Chains A and B, each alone.
Chain A
């Protein structure tokens, strides 16, 4: 497995602003993913972020709203842009080790938009 950290752990933001969430892994991984978990709900995949290529977004998520960076094999960021109260969720990053299919998740970032 891998040790994954996320910053910030939580934040309260005003509508219309943007927040960048960082995901750091203690080992090099090819595959990183970003998920959203709305209050009391399941997890939904936002995008897949592979180092060296553009992020691939799932239906319903667009790059203008959720730009992602993946500058190296241990780090990624997700920005939630022009936030509205509907963006209040837990945002989680996950990684899959090379040759493995199970994903390990970070502790999540709890975002509240007022």
Chain B
């Protein structure tokens, strides 16, 4: 069975601080996919990034960066110079490889509520 743990229920920082959201996952598959989604107060889910299990290269997109480490089963998300607009609930998710190919259902962590104070 697969599992995603986001131990941080809520994080509050002052604007311009850096913040890291932790994500630890469990899976027995050797091929799997990791994701981060953002859910702002408006409620829609916004896809941020996907990482394949065979690609441990870290990624940076503007103020966002992701650190994927298979050795510790972690896929952490860092926001640099946080802004008030970053306030949202952030979900880490996992899917395993589907027999026959294609996307499979996502297992979500419980989410981290990030509050950026002005």
Contacts and interface: CB of A to CB of B under 8 A. Distances in A.
A58 B110 CA distance: 18
B33 interface: yes
Given A42-B91, A43-B91, A30 B102 contact: yes
Nearest to A48: B105
A31 interface: yes
A107 B44 contact: yes
Contacts of A98: 102
Contact of A104 (B47, B95, B108): B47
B50 interface: yes
Interface residues on B, range: 20 to 34
A102 interface: yes
Contacts of B105: 33, 45, 48, 58
Interface in B77-116: 91, 95, 102-111
Contacts of A96: 102-103
B35 interface: yes
Contacts of A44: 108
A73 B37 CA distance: 25
Contacts of B52: 101
A103 B91 contact: no
Given A102-B47, A105-B44, A45 B111 contact: no
B41 interface: no
A90 B111 CA distance: 16
Interface in A1-20: 1
B118 interface: no
B44 A108 contact: yes
A23 interface: no
Given A43-B108, A92-B45, A108-B43, 10 more contacts: A43-B91, A45-B105, A94-B106, A96-B103, A100-B103, A101-B95, A102-B33, A103-B35, A103-B103, A105-B44
20 contacts: A30-B102, A33-B105, A33-B106, A35-B106, A42-B91, A42-B108, A45-B107, A90-B43, A92-B45, A94-B45, A99-B102, A100-B103, A101-B95, A101-B103, A102-B35, A103-B35, A103-B103, A104-B47, A105-B47, A107-B44
